[in-house]
Structures are given as C-alpha cells and as structure tokens.
Amino acid sequence: MLIMKKYMIKISRRWLIETVFILLLPSFAYSQGDKKYIRQGNREYEKEKFSESEISYRKAADKNSESSDAVFNTGDALYRQKKFEDAGKQFSANYGMNDDILKKSASLYNLGNSLLMANKIRESIDAYKGSLKLYPDNMEAKYNLAYAQDLLKQQEQQQQQQNKDQNNENKDQQKEQEQQNEQNQDQENKQNQQENQEQQQQQAQEQAISKEDAERILNALANDEKVVQEKVKLAKARREQVKTLRNW
C-alpha cells in the first residue's frame, strides 16, 4: 500500500481549533468539569501523550454527554494511536451531534482520513465528498479525495490483473489436466490392447492344443478300428475253418 504524505493524512486539529472551538464555543454550555478535562487533554495531546489525552477527553464526555468537542477530540487521540476504526466511530458520532456546517465538514473530513487509513477506500471517498459539499474550500479534503480515487483505481487495476492471472492459471491447470487425462487414456488403451493380444495368444494356444488332442484321438480311434477289423477277420477265418472241418 502506498504511504501517504504526512500533510495529507494529518488530522484536522488546527482547523478544528481555529474554526470549531473558537467560533462556536459560546454556543455550548460547558460545565467547569468537562472544560477542565478538555484543557488537560489538549496539553497531553500537544506533548504527544495520546493515550493519556484520550482518557482526559473521555472523562470530559462523561461529565457532559452532549460535548461534541470531547467526542471529536477523542477521535483525534484515537487516530494518533493508529486506532483508525475506533476513531472513525467517534467522528461519525460527532457529525450527528452538530448542526453547524463547519463542524460537520470537519467530522466528515477526519472520518475520511480514518477510513482511508483503515483501507476502506470507497467509504473514505464518500466521506471526503460529503465534507467538500459542506465546505468546498477545504484543499486538504480535495487532495485526499483525489488521492483516494487514484488509489482505488490502482487497486481495481491490480484486482483485474489478479483475476486475469488467475484465469490464465486456471486455463493452464485445465490444459495440464486434459493432457494428463489423454496420457492416462492412451496408457489405458495400450494396456487394454496388450491384454487383448495376450488373451488372443492364449486362445490360439488353447486351440492349438485342442487340435493336437483331436488328432491323437482320431489316431487312437483309427488304431482301435484296425484292431477291431483284425479281430473280425480272425473270427471269420475261424468260422470258415470250422465249417470246412464239418464238411469233412
């Protein structure tokens, strides 16, 4: 994933302080308690103690559940801790807590940053567009929107290339499978042919043996017939001899 420039992903905190906190602070009635925790959180945030500042901002929100600034700053602290999805939830909540256009635009801008860092590019594009509708002069939102759109285009191209490569790989695998099937079929045909040849040879041998046996049987029968004929001749000869003797 491409690394975004620092100024591009920088959360809109300065803009918040100049436009949201200062301009609209009088319209909210903060208790002394939540203002105290917000100031404490701001000091910790400036010292880059983001985990401690998150705790302070949450305490301010506990003191005053309607403090949209406490919710916004909580999202800011979470963002700096790279807890982008949690930060996005805070900015979404902050958007619904405000009626002022600048505050809403700031919420959507920071929501877009959080979504972009969470690799939810399509959602970040929608958030940037929403922010620019409310405050078209936000140049950072314009830059980030263009960046997110380019990034989405790159991802779509990469996905298309991956799909193309996968399709080619599937075709190659299918071709290899078909070749393997053909080889298996050829081997099976050769094996069947060899078995048929062996079977035919065996049948031929059996037939040859049967022919020899038949000849032997015929020869034996012929010999038996000669013996019988000899016996018949001998019997006739005896009868003739006996008859002659009787005539005498």
Are 108 and 134 a contacting pair, CB within 8 Å? yes
DSSP assignment of the chain, as one string? -PPPPHHHH--SHHHIIIIIIHHHGGGS---HHHHHHHHHHHHHHHTT-HHHHHHHHHHHHHH-TT-HHHHHHHHHHHHHTT-HHHHHHHHHHHHHH---HHHHHHHHHHHHHHHHHTT-HHHHHHHHHHHHHH-TT-HHHHHHHHHHHHHHHHHHHHHHHHHHHHHHHHHHHHHHHHHHHHHHHHHHHHHHHHHHHHHHHHHHHHHHHHHHHHHHHHHHHHHHHHHHHHHHHHHHHHHHHHHHHHH-
Q: What is the DSSP string of 74-86?
A: HHHHHHHTT-HHH
Residue 117 has pLDDT above 60, yes or no: yes
| 141-145 mean pLDDT | 97
When comparing pLDDT for 220 and 173, which is higher? 173
pLDDT value at 167 more than 90: no
| Alpha-carbon distances, residue 238 vs 57, 101, 226, 246 (angstroms) | 148, 150, 18, 12
If one compares 147 and 27, the residue with the highest pLDDT of the two is 147
In this structure, how many other beta carbons lie within 10 angstroms of the beta carbon of residue 96? 11
Q: Which domains does the chain have, with CATH numbers?
A: 9-137 (1.25.40.10)
Confidence of residue 191 (pLDDT cuts 50, 70, 90): confident
For 227-237, the pLDDT digits (tens) are 667 766 776 66
Between 110-114, 115-119, 145-149, 228-232, the lowest mean confidence (pLDDT) is in 228-232
Label residue 42 by pLDDT band (50, 70, 90): very high
What is the mean predicted confidence (pLDDT) over 143-170?
Answer: 91
